[in-house]
Structure 1
Amino acid sequence: MNLIWGLDGEVAAVICQAAGVKGREFGPSRALACIDNGHLIGGAIVHDWNPEAQTAEVSAGFLRRRAPHRAIARVLAEYVFGQMDCQAVILRTDSRNSAVRRFAASMGGKEHILPRVLGRTASEAFLIITDDAWASSKWSGRYENTLSTDAA
């Protein structure tokens, strides 16, 4: 599998498809695509950057269960914490999505559940990962570069 920056519209469509959401717009953003055997299988989008607060949101989705989570986490962390100089990253997911919640917790994420944000019967989990939490997590460390250049 390869990770490449780019394919913003295609990655957004995959994230929406994986989440069962229609028509989500991410505005100004940057996408990290996960390509397997020439096929886009998922990715992540960095969006809603707030330079004053030094925060950004990350949304991700995959069409296959198996994805290079460690590689994606490291590339995203290098981008948001290293290049964008963010002090915190925000992930949002349905509170029933235990896989994403466990993944964020393993990276030092702190969780806040907001009731009814996704509708009358659905709560949303806001997961905050700080640069300090990331640096001390088991996920940080040296990344073996499989990152390709931006897609044309």
Structure 2
Amino acid sequence: MRIIWGGANNATVNRMIADFVASHIAGCERGFADFVTMGVVEDGGLLAGVVFHDYAPEAGVIELSAASTSKRWLTRPVLKGMFAYPFQEIGCQMVVLRVSERNAGMIAIAERFGFSPHRIPRLRGREEAEIVFTLTDNDWRAHPVNQR
């Protein structure tokens, strides 16, 4: 597995990763605007993607959305790369992740990586709540993945 980055300097890759992520998230048909992406490639194909979007530099907050076709993508190097961008490169103090209350797999992953959940009824429509997860830079630095 290897990590690739999209962004202003690599617009084609940026759009490809964003489209991949949007196509794997229910309700994300409109896609993303003003974003930077990270992809995980294996055997020449995109295995996973992360979209960093809705950056609020004045607050030091950015949202991320992610999708994959395999659970194997969340390795230590990928996690370190994924969180180095918001916390080290652009100086965020918090990352936000929004997840449907029905997505038990992603909820478990977010909690395992130290995100704090905040359930908001009807945020995904009349019949579906959304969990807004937050992860501060302090909580990320204290996570076991960073202790080696």
Shorter-chain TM-score bucket reads 0.7 to 0.9
Q: Quote how far apart the aligned CAs of 1:138 are.
A: 1.4
Alignment-derived partner of residue 148 in structure 1: none
Alignment-derived partner of residue 140 in structure 1: 146
- In the alignment, is residue 31 of structure 1 matched against residue 31 of structure 2? no
CA deviation map 1:103-149 (0-9, x unaligned): 2222221100111111111110100000000011112246xxxxxxx
The partner residue of 2:73 within 54, 67, 78 is 67
Contact 1:106 1:137 in 2 (8 A): no
The partner residue of 2:26 within 17, 20, 35 is 20
Structure 1 vs Structure 2 CA RMSD: 1.6
Alignment-derived partner of residue 82 in structure 1: 88
CA deviation map 1:62-95 (0-9, x unaligned): 1233323433321121110001100000001101
Alignment-derived partner of residue 4 in structure 1: 4
Which fold has the larger relative contact order, with Cα–Cα distance below 8 Å and residues 6 or more apart in sequence? Answer: 1
**TM-score, normalisation: structure 2:** 0.88
Q: What SS does the aligned partner of 1:19 have?
A: coil
Identity fraction in percent: 29
**TM-score, normalisation: structure 1:** 0.85
Q: Which amino acid in 1 is paired with 2:3?
A: L
Structure having the larger proportion of residues in helix: 2
Q: Quote how far apart the aligned CAs of 1:18 are.
A: 1.6
